[in-house]
Amino acid sequence: MWIFVGRAFFAGSALLINILLSRVLDTAAFGAYLMAFNIAFFGGVFGTLGLNQSIIRFMAEHRENGTWRRAKNTALLSLKLASIGAAGTGLLYIFLQLTLLKGVLGSELMASAALWTGLWIMLTVLQNLIAETFRGHGDVKQATLFSGVLSNFCMLVGLGLMMWLGRSSWSLQEALLLVTVCMGASCFIAGWRLLKLLQVRNWQQTNEAAMSNEPRARQLLAVSLPMMASNVALFMLTSSDIWILGVFYSESEVAIYGAAVRLMAVLNFFVVLMNTLMTSIISKYFGSAQFPKIQNYGRIIVGISTLPAIVIGAVFIVMGEQVLNLAFGTTYGSGQTILAVLSVGQLINLFAGPSGLLLTLTGNERTMLKITLITSVVTVIAAVTVVYLWGPFALAIVMVCGLFAQNGWMWVEVRRKLGISVHFNPVDLVRQLIRLAGRNKNLEQQVRIKGASYK
């Protein structure tokens, strides 16, 4: 329930923040803001070095084995490495934006906001790692709170307060300043809570034999860097369209395209929810090789996640212009065809199920990396070609085709390597729910019989 509520609030608040910013920023500034957001998101993926995923695995293993001191040292070492990654990535972006990229991405607007965007990258890295460290420790509440919920809440409060005071027109720098202040506050509180957790008495070493085997940076990076490479390739496959559009078109065109992309947060919520629920299912049954249970529970989760998304996606496809006009203003209604195409892409992502997650969490991360690298390279090359010749609508079609190719290839590999297929199947969903209900009914009857016998 914490995960569901947290994800729902994060998705809804992120969309609301973008809607409010589209009202106080002019079209060019809003387009530049969306590019800065995309850059910060990519910087967060690259700067964490994959440690935000590997830390969950390491912390869970140490917690299971009772090696608390090693878990503490692993968390601290990961935090140090991520801090280096954050500083290096943020400073590198600032340097590149003020020199080589000044005439490529967003021109003067992006250059004027380079410092704030660099800080945004650094804070994103720290926020991602700290939240996932809590998750690895089993503290779902704090992991949910510090994975964007608290910073988005502060952002909404700040936006609402400024608009209530009569500030109806903002500059790009003011918007990015508010972002960095809110994320900085969230990271400060999260870091303080994490250090407090690592200092409690029960982190003493309970397995003395493990004391001589302290974690090393090379060991952590050997696991995390392939994950980072896969995440970077996945970003290029799913989110590089804003960058590509920004190279060839003005910030105003980027804003219209980006408004449709931001509405995808509603559908992406169901993808995130599906993957979050499937993570626990895979972790529970993979160790004992209970693949049929992963498939059965997986199809139920995919079905429940996909059904409401189909309804929302249909609204976006049929009434795209009205939705964009209502959310962002009449300037953005022209992005209706782009919204329809991107909605189809997100529905394909849901129909295919959590194939990428299954490969990553079952020791097939190299297969996942190969698939994502090949499809992302082909997609980016095709996207650069078509956007120059035919514009944003063609770009959206290419991105969806790339997503379709990746999901289809991953589904085939899951079927080949694990012998299961976890995808959307409405008939199988009904069958699994009926079977699960019957099993629960039999369990209740057994409990009643045992209770009566005991009495």
Query: What confidence tens digit (pLDDT) does each residue in 39-51 have?
Result: 888 888 888 888 7
| pLDDT band for position 310 (cuts 50, 70, 90) | very high
Q: What is the mean pLDDT of residues 112-132?
A: 88
**Given the structure tokens 């964009």, which residue do they identify?**
324
Give yes or no for residue 16 having a pLDDT over 60: yes
Percentage of the chain lying above the pLDDT 90 cut: 13
Spatial separation of the C-alpha atoms in residues 244 and 412, rounded to whole Å? 30
Query: Which residue type is seen at 447?
Result: V
At 444 the pLDDT is 57
- How far the first Cα of the chain sits from its last, in Å, is 35
Spatial separation of the C-alpha atoms in residues 281 and 301, rounded to whole Å? 10
Give yes or no for residue 101 having a pLDDT over 80: no
Give yes or no for residue 66 having a pLDDT over 90: no
- Sign for the CA dihedral angle at 110, 10, 194, 66 comes to negative
Spatial separation of the C-alpha atoms in residues 375 and 202, rounded to whole Å? 46
Q: What is the mean pLDDT of residues 340-357?
A: 90
Which of these ranges, 51-60, 79-88, 298-307, has the smallest mean pLDDT? Answer: 51-60
Condensed to tens digits (0 to 9), the pLDDT of residues 392-428 reads 888 889 999 998 999 999 999 999 988 888 888 877 7
Tell me the average pLDDT of the chain.
Answer: 81
Give yes or no for residue 67 having a pLDDT over 70: no
Q: What is the mean pLDDT of residues 197-220?
A: 60
Q: In this predicted model, which residue has the larger pLDDT, 188 or 132?
A: 188
Q: What is the mean pLDDT of residues 290-298?
A: 84
Condensed to tens digits (0 to 9), the pLDDT of residues 253-267 reads 888 888 888 888 888
At 36 the pLDDT is 87
Give yes or no for residue 173 having a pLDDT over 90: no
Angle at the Cα of 422 (from 420 to 428), degrees rounded to 5? 105
Q: Which of 182, 121, 187 is nearest to 153 (CA)?
A: 182
Q: If residue 10 lies in a helix (H) or strand (E), which one and from where to where?
A: helix 2-24
Q: What is the mean pLDDT of residues 429-442?
A: 69
| pLDDT band for position 201 (cuts 50, 70, 90) | very low
Q: In this predicted model, which residue has the larger pLDDT, 79 or 55?
A: 79
Spatial separation of the C-alpha atoms in residues 422 and 194, rounded to whole Å? 36
Q: What is the mean pLDDT of residues 429-445?
A: 67
Query: Which residue type is seen at 38?
Result: N
Q: What is the mean pLDDT of residues 286-307?
A: 83
Read off the tokens for 132.
């996932």
Read off the tokens for 429.
């969903």
Give yes or no for residue 5 having a pLDDT over 50: yes
At 208 the pLDDT is 45
Spatial separation of the C-alpha atoms in residues 114 and 95, rounded to whole Å? 8
105 φ/ψ sector (left φ>0, alpha ψ -120 to 50, else beta): beta
Q: Which of 247, 295, 301 is nearest to 271 (CA)?
A: 301
Q: In this predicted model, which residue has the larger pLDDT, 50 or 200?
A: 50
Spatial separation of the C-alpha atoms in residues 358 and 341, rounded to whole Å? 27
36 touches 180 (CB < 8 A): no
Spatial separation of the C-alpha atoms in residues 104 and 90, rounded to whole Å? 18
Percentage of the chain lying above the pLDDT 70 cut: 87
Best-predicted range by mean pLDDT among 26-40, 60-74, 219-233, 242-256?
26-40
Which of these ranges, 30-34, 212-216, 420-424, has the smallest mean pLDDT? Answer: 212-216
At 449 the pLDDT is 59
